[in-house]
Amino acid sequence: MGTSVLVGILITFLVIVLILWLVQRLPIEARLRQILQIVVIVIGIISLLKYLAVF
């Protein structure tokens, strides 16, 4: 069971990093890019906390 949780956390982390990289590549203004990055990070933290059984 511990291995599956670890794999889930790793996959979630990699997806967050990939989405943040894609947001950096978007041709949008800096303020909107910063807002998108904050939203992605918050959603990522919430999903990681779900794996750790906080929620």
pTM, full prediction: 0.82
Instruction: Please write the tens of the pLDDT for every residue from 1-55.
Output: 678 888 888 999 999 999 999 999 999 999 999 999 999 999 999 988 887 876 6
Q: Which two tokens stand for residue 29?
A: 């203004």
Predicted pLDDT at 50? 85
Q: Round to whole Å and give the CA distance between 21 and 5.
A: 24
Distance CA 14, CA 48 (A): 11
Residue 54's pLDDT is: 67
Q: How far apart are CA 36 and CA 28, in angstroms?
A: 10
Cα atoms in the Cβ-side hemisphere of radius 13 Å centred on 21: 6
Q: What is the predicted pLDDT for the residue at 13? A: 93
Q: Angle at the Cα of 49 (from 18 to 20), degrees rounded to 5?
A: 15
